[in-house]
Structure 1
Amino acid sequence: MGRLQLSFLCGRWHNMDSRFRAAHPLYKWFFGFCLLLLIFVFSNRFPNELPNAQNANTVSLLSRIVNVTLTPQKYFVKTAQCHIPFVNPFNDEVMKIYKPQTFVVCSNESDLVTSAYDSQRQRYVLHINQQVAQELLNFTDAEYNCFYEEISYGQHVDTYDKLKADKYFTDGYVVPKHVEGMLLECQTAEEPHKVLQRDALIFIQYQPDEPTPKKRASVPRKPSVIMYGIDSLSRINLRRTMPKVYKFLKGTGWYEMQGYNKVADNSFPNLFAILSGYSPDTAKSQVCDTDQSGCFEEMSMIWHYFKNASYLTAYAEDESGSNTFNYLKPGFTEKPTDYYFRPFLRALEEETEVKRLPGQFMRYCMGRRLANRYIYDYCRQFMQRYVKERPIWGMFWTNHYSHDDPFMPSAMQNKVLTDLTNYRMDGAFDHTIMIFFADHGTRFGKLRDLNSGFLESRLPMMFIYLPPWFREEYPSYARALEINQNRLSSNFDLHNTLKHVIEIGGGIPGMPELPKSYDCPTCQSLFYPVPEDRTCAQAAIDEHWCTCEPYRTISHLGWTDRIAESVIPRMNEYFVEKNLTHLCSNLSLSYVHNTNIKTGLDISWHDELPELKEAVYRTKFKVQQNSADFEATVVFNNVTETAEVNVETISRTNSYKEDSTCIEDKIAKLYCICFSDLKP
């Protein structure tokens, strides 16, 4: 049936006598059915399901039709103490700037050398594709040789050893078990040698489980846990840029934590809260300074708990300069997990041909492959080797495509969807609790400047998958996750949930109960229902990051400038306290973008605001120095014109990487405009 025919049929029904339509019980059903058919026809007309320059208006039209006709979702969370509004990812405002990106391949050539795992021998085998070789040799009879250099761990845990001597191989070569990574090359035999293809392969080499004396038959089955992370991706932007992935994540067994609210500004404190249960400041006062070498070994990180509970562990990221524990941090002094990717990453970055996309800082290709392909292939191998025979924990994190461009995930959605479907095809989901998550949303750029920018930055995506056996054996935990989908939660809850998984699996010998997150005594495992009347304070979410209570824009010209003007002196005092005045310029106000006042849940949009001596405001302003943009949450006294503000919670909402090159302090870099970087 064509679109015109379908529209005509539905239109004829819709134009029937209104009294008949009102009385007919099938009318509403039929009209909804017509809408679904129209959407189906349009989606087939635009099969990529991804808005572009030609179909953006169609997507916007369809989203408006659905939102008007079918009851739209108004809130991510609406509880007694928390209202987090739902954001239409295809609203008119965002569609003016949304530009879906095109996937860029790293190589158009087929693989000359591939690896396959021989499950009987429990070894990797290299195969040379003779047809590809002939193509690369221009179908001549020229001979060629293939060899590899082994990548191995260096003396320092975060580096790789000097590459070993060339090892020649032929088709069917069995990779030695000690080889976990290799740089390989095939070249013509005759001189001068012509390189046919260079490549890199990383392996999860199987190590059999050490037998334990007298394994107890009564020990509960232990679920594996895999954390698949994408930097800077909000739940709103996931829906917008990866609709196919979002559809997959709405399948059976998946639970979306729509009230998941970040607890800090950038990656490190948000991930650190999940992995340690601490904020960096509390860790410094209670355990050790995360800026000091050796601290991450002194901290009881989540992988230590899993390791002590007999889990095999792995950790991998894809951009060494931005790695969570290495960006302006000391990194590790000891190998943190059983399988640790960073030494191989450093070799890939330094020994392969690196490509960056125009205007992008992070590496896009390393050799013939996407940077993130190494990470998620490593994840797949880890699960393939072990998940069916023993419990594993692993975190696999990508920075390179999502950090600098909020719309670049649109180019990657097919790759991410392929990862998830491959894991399912391998049977990994039968054994694994998967956490598909982000650290935060978009922190700067055009998306951040929208009316919904405040929510975009504070609401990272968070999906939790429970395997069928787990849902059957622990129905109350599955029910709790279902309830908690629309209740407020935070990073510290996820930390407690990970420890709860360990306790379900029998816990750690000699430790009957694991300590909960230190920084949030009122946080809990998400396998229990979160209190309906929970507040941000109870989830250890600071006022500046809290999305629970509404703000209303105020437009008293001139008056709102006083709030921003009261914040800037606090920022300049901060430079004095940090002893940075010789490096960082004093800041001065250029103009105020907007100012909002916190209204509270009991005041509707139409109610007149009461006159308050003191109130909470959110002000977004630009300073004269390098046109830097900031957003601050301020308790402002209208009588004394004094402000209470925690400078280290002020958000920088445009890029700062070229403004603060003179300092290494990870937090102060947000606010410092170096004298050496000042623009005229």
Structure 2
Amino acid sequence: MFIIVYMPLQSDIKNPGKLSNDQNMLQSDANDDDNYESIVNTVHGVINEDEREVTKNSNATPQLYFVNNAKCKIPYINPFEPDVMKNFRPDTFETCTNQSDLVRPIFDMNRKQYVLQIDENVASQILNSHDIEYNCYYQEITRDADHDSYNDLLPQIYFSQGYVVPLHVQALILACHEAANTTNILQRDAYALIQYKPQEQNLEPKKTTPRKPSVLMFGIDSLSRINLRRAMPKVYKFLTRRGWYEMQGYNKVADNTFPNLMAILSGYSPESAKEKVCDTDNRGCFDRVPFIWKYFKSAGYTTAFAEDECDIQTFNYQKPGFVETPTDYYHRSFLKGFMGEMNTWKCANCTLTYCIGRRIQSSYVYDFGRDFAKRYIDERPIWGLFWSSSFSHDDYAMPAKMENYVLQYLLDFQQDGVFEQSIVIFLSDHGSRYGYLADCSSGFLEERLPTMFIYLPPWFRAQYPEYAEALEMNRNRLTSNFDLHNTLKHIAELGQPPNSPPLPRANDCPKCQSLFQPVSRDRECKEAAIPEHYCTCEPYKRIEFAWSDRIALGVIDRINHYLYAKNFSSICANLTLNYIHKTEIKLGLDISFHEEIPKLDVGYYRVKFKVEQNSADFMATVLYNNVTNHVDVDVEKISRTNSYEESATCISHKLAKLYCICKSLLKS
């Protein structure tokens, strides 16, 4: 999703709770428990009132639903249920430094180049003197295409006030030191630059070309629509204002980030791409995949792509990354350089890097998006994806710590006029897949229902009212990643010559469509290419029969056979059952959740269990025959519900890592 975010100066973000007067309606002190709970209660009321509209005419049950029709019933979950909130408190926002910037690159709109501005007052404060001389230099960061990383830093180039940065410099590390003592570094900082690129000339007269909307996608990893309401109520409130459409029936199609983003960005699952395009484990394959940015580029858009947390980036974690630069502006090599050359820091409750140098890690991505939008938003159509994992991937509560920080970006983008020009998509890939939230009663839904908001600017709603009407209609209908892919293709087609051939729709979902067209009310998961294991359309109910233990045992047997078939059984432990967290039966849409559970010879079950080996937890959706004791399960669709990072280092196979407990890493 695109994030339109204005990143304030580090000195301006010291108190992220401090907004301008016209923003006070969205603001209060998130560090005050009473105030926070007041916000939560207010937003909770708004949510209930809003979503009560979905089912107020329903003749079924009093339960609220995200989707409620004859073939799909996705229940609404109260984000503020006591079993969740008893352990939920937002942490205090932390800055990486209280020191103002000594040197900043400022974009000169007349020159269309960056100028380095030195704040002499800051230097005097650091040196505690106006008389001590100091020198400043920069080192350029360049891309290493062979490893989708960065090369060694180029030599130091000293500069003085007002130095004009050459156009070829795309990222740099800045430093100033005492003139008489080069080891006395006053300050170091790092910046990625959106150097201006003239627009390619279009020979077609402008007046014959319909207006093309920019598309900015802002993604936050592991953020369910339920947890957004809980952890970021003020951001949620911003996203429910006029022009925003929440796809409340948006259901993920796969387990983790890579396959879910592959569906959005390419229209392929990894398995299908391997069969029909190339093997994404091989170097150079991603350059051949028909990603959405290629279609936008062909349609005259300038493109950008940025992610934080380099070690788990979508196309680089256990993957080869890109050889060619995929978009006009590509951030990875710069962030790799920043992480490799600057000091890093983790906050007290962080598992991932919080600060790189003087700045919050995600701010490098958000600033990149902000500068990209400001550079071109009034001049040409742009497409960008700006993705953050660093503050949400491992901790469901940490987004609450960052709420004002994210909200400030959105408010500043609004002030910069970005929402007047652009379609903005605020999304996630999935919810919490392991940890406390996944273990709660709503964990199955938390994991499978990611955040998905789409904003249409006023001019677009006026020019295409039927698209806005379709989005409104689709709010409470079942949709998936492949529908979003088709929507992006639909946008790329706007403004193209009348006789242009239609772009190919999502390869792996023949029945998926653009969200600018009404989705069938009675849609099923298979029509949206949502596998049974991830489908939230039909309710499950917990069972505790003695015979139900056989289901978990059968699943474990299938996992062990899978590891054997992959030739990993010599290094991966044979798994054995420790205990069963819960077993649930799929009731079907014609059975009331509150009725007595019928006896089924064959049925779908959902089982969550722990194995003896390193206390690994799993959840599986199983077709089980109670007569023959046969378990039918796709092993690669079984979810690992706690972290496997430290127990599967002996293999590199991306999927098998979920199920492998290395013999060499077994704990007593």
Structure-2-length-normalised TM-score: 0.91
Instruction: Tell me, yes or no, if structure 1 residue 544 matches structure 2 residue 533.
Output: yes
For 2:108, the aligned partner's letter is: D
- Structure 1 residues 278 and 70 mapped into 2: Cα distance closer, same or farther (>3 Å)? closer
Contact 1:66 1:72 in 2 (8 A): no
Q: Deviations over 1:188-225 (max 9, x none)?
A: 11136421111112110011112232336322211111
Residues 467 and 61 (structure 1 numbering): CA distance in 2 closer, same or farther, change over 3 Å? Answer: closer
Quote the Cα distance in structure 2 between the aligned partners of 1:334 and 1:63.
45
Report how many residues are paired.
635
* Secondary structure in structure 1 of the residue aligned to 2:532: coil
Deviates more, 1:467-476 or 1:78-87: 78-87
Q: What CA distance in whole angstroms lies between the structure 2 residues aligned with 1:72 and 1:193?
A: 64
Counterpart position of 1:562: 550
1:578 to 566, 574, 582: 566
C-alpha distance in structure 1 between counterparts of 2:478 and 2:550, whole Å:
33
Distance 1:337 1:224, change over 3 A: same
Secondary structure at the aligned position of 1:502 is classed as: helix
The one-letter code matched in structure 2 to 1:282 is S
Aligned to 1:652: 640
Q: CA deviation at 1:505?
A: 2.6
Paired letter, 2:602: E
Q: Would the alpha carbon gap of residues 513 and 134 (structure 1) be closer, same or farther in structure 2, given more than 3 Å must change? A: same
1:62 positional shift: 6.7
Aligned counterpart, 1:589: 577
Tell whether the 8 Å contact from 1:662 to 1:674 is kept in structure 2 after alignment.
yes
Quote the Cα distance in structure 2 between the aligned partners of 1:302 and 1:61. 40
Q: State the 1:172 CA deviation.
A: 1.9
Q: Please point out which of 635, 646, 650 is paired with 1:662.
A: 650
Matches within 5 A, 1:239-318: 239-318=229-308
Give the Cα–Cα distance (whole angstroms) in 1 for the partners of residues 527 and 26 of structure 2.
45
CA drift of 1:551 comes to 0.7
Q: CA deviation at 1:115?
A: 2.5
What residue number does 1:150 align with? 140
Deviation readout 1:321-341 (Å, 9 max, x if unpaired): 111000001111111111111
Q: Does the aligned pair in 2 maintain the 1:157–1:335 contact within 8 Å? A: no
Distance 1:183 1:96 in 2: 44
**Correspondence for 1:553 among 527, 542, 552:** 542
In the alignment, the residues of structure 1 paired with residue 364 and residue 476 of structure 2 have an alpha-carbon distance, to the nearest angstrom, of 35
Query: Any conservation in 2 of the 1:617–1:633 contact (CA below 8 Å)?
Result: yes
Query: Contact (CA 8 Å) 1:455, 1:547: kept in 2 or not?
Result: yes
Q: Which of 519, 522, 528 is residue 511 of structure 2 equivalent to?
A: 522
Tell me how large the CA RMSD over aligned residues is: 2.2
- Partner Cα distance (1:131, 1:360) in 2: 34
1:642 aligns with 2:630: yes
Give the aligned partner of residue 408 of structure 1: 398
Q: Which residue of 1 aligns with 2:374?
A: 384
- Residues 360 and 316 (structure 1 numbering): CA distance in 2 closer, same or farther, change over 3 Å? same
User: 1:217 aligns to what SS in structure 2?
Assistant: helix
1:48 aligned onto 2:37: no
Q: Which amino acid aligns with 1:646?
A: D
1:633 aligns with 2:621: yes
The one-character-per-residue Cα deviations of 1:512-554 (angstroms, maximum 9, x if unpaired) are 1111111100000000010000001100001110111101111
CA 1:472 to 1:56, structure 2 compared with 1: closer, same or farther past 3 Å? closer
Give the drift of 1:118.
1.4
Are 2:420 and 2:458, in contact at CA under 8 Å, matched by a contact in 1?
A: yes
Give the 3 Å change call, closer, same or farther, for CA 574–469 of structure 1 in structure 2: same
Alignment partner of 1:497: what SS?
A: helix
| 1:513 corresponds to 2:502 | yes
Q: Tell me what 1:366 maps to.
A: 356
The residue type paired with residue 528 of structure 1 is Q
Deviation at 1:320, TM superposition (A): 1.3
Matched, 1:535 2:524: yes
Q: Which residue of 2 aligns with 1:126?
A: 116
C-alpha distance in structure 2 between counterparts of 1:277 and 1:192, whole Å = 53
Q: Which one is further off, 443-452 or 420-429?
A: 420-429
TM-superposed CA distance for 1:589, in Å, is: 0.7
Question: Equivalent residue for 1:78?
Answer: 68
Identity %: 55
- In structure 2, what is the equivalent of residue 331 of structure 1? 321
User: Alpha-carbon deviation of 1:609?
Assistant: 2.7
How far off its partner does 1:636 sit? 0.8
Higher relative contact order (CA 8 A, sep 6+): 2
Q: Structure 2: which amino acid aligns with 1:477?
A: Y
Q: Measure, in 2, the Cα distance between the counterparts of 1:104 and 1:91.
A: 28
Alignment partner for residue 502 of structure 1, among 488, 492, 502?
Answer: 492
Q: Deviations over 1:9-42 (max 9, x none)?
A: xxxxxxxxxxxxxxxxxxxxxxxxxxxxxxxxxx
Letter in 1 for 2:587: T
How many angstroms apart in 1 are the aligned matches of 2:179 and 2:386?
40
Moved more, 74-83 or 474-483: 74-83
Corresponding residue SS for 2:657: helix
The answer to whether the 8 Å contact 1:157/1:334 transfers is: no
TM-superposed deviation, 1:484: 0.7
Give CA-to-partner distance per residue, 1:429-476, whole Å, 9 cap, x none.
Answer: 121111110011111101110000111110110011111111000000
Correspondence for 2:607 among 619, 622, 629: 619
Q: Is the 8 A contact 1:51 1:59 kept in 2?
A: no
Q: Is the 8 A contact 1:77 1:83 kept in 2?
A: yes
TM-fit CA distance, 1:610: 2.4
How far 1:482 moved relative to its partner? 0.6
Instruction: Verify the 8 A CA contact 1:185 1:199 in the aligned structure 2.
Output: yes
Change (3 A) 1:332 1:551: same
CA distance in 2, matches of 1:118, 1:56: 41
Counterpart secondary structure, 2:584 = strand
Between 411-420 and 273-282, the greater mean CA deviation after superposition: 411-420
Q: Which one of the candidate residues 417, 429, 441 is aligned to 1:439? A: 429
Once the two structures are superposed, residues 317-366 of structure 1 have per-residue CA deviations (whole angstroms, 9 ceiling, x without a partner) of: 11111110000011111111111111111110101111123464422111
For 1:66 and 1:433, the matched residues in 2 are separated by 25
Gap change, CA 1:388 and 1:53, over 3 Å in 2:
closer
Q: Is the Cα contact below 8 Å between 1:50 and 1:241 reproduced in 2?
A: no
Q: Which residue of 2 aligns with 1:204?
A: 194
Aligned-pair CA distance for 1:578? 1.1
Q: Classify 1:595/1:56 alpha carbon distance in 2 versus 1 (closer, same or farther; 3 Å).
A: farther
Residue 295 of structure 1, CA deviation: 1.3
TM-score by length of 1: 0.90
**Shift in Å at residue 496 of structure 1?**
0.3
- Aligned residue for 2:214? 224
Task: Tell which structure's C-alpha radius of gyration is larger.
Answer: 1
Deviations 1:631-651 (A, max 9, x none): 111111111111111111111
Q: CA deviation at 1:60?
A: 7.3
Deviation, structure 1 residue 154:
3.0
Q: 1:105 to 1:63 in 2, by over 3 A?
A: closer
- Equivalent residue number for residue 5 of structure 2: none
SS at match of 2:541: strand
Aligned partners of 2:410, 2:25: CA distance in 1, in Å?
26
Q: Helix, strand or coil: the match of 2:409? A: helix
Consecutive unaligned residues of structure 2, counting only runs of 5 or more, are 1-23, 54-63
- What are the superposed Cα offsets for residues 595-638 of structure 1, whole Å, 9 maximum, x if unpaired? 11111122112322322111111111111111111111111111
Q: Which 10-residue stretch deviates more, 224-233 or 69-78?
A: 69-78
Q: Is the 8 A contact 1:149 1:167 kept in 2?
A: yes
State the match for 2:312 in structure 1.
Answer: 322
Aligned counterparts of 2:25 and 2:594: Cα–Cα separation in 1: 42
Contact between 1:49 and 1:243, CA under 8 Å: does it hold in 2?
Answer: no
**Post-superposition offset of 1:567:** 1.0
Partner of 1:429: 419
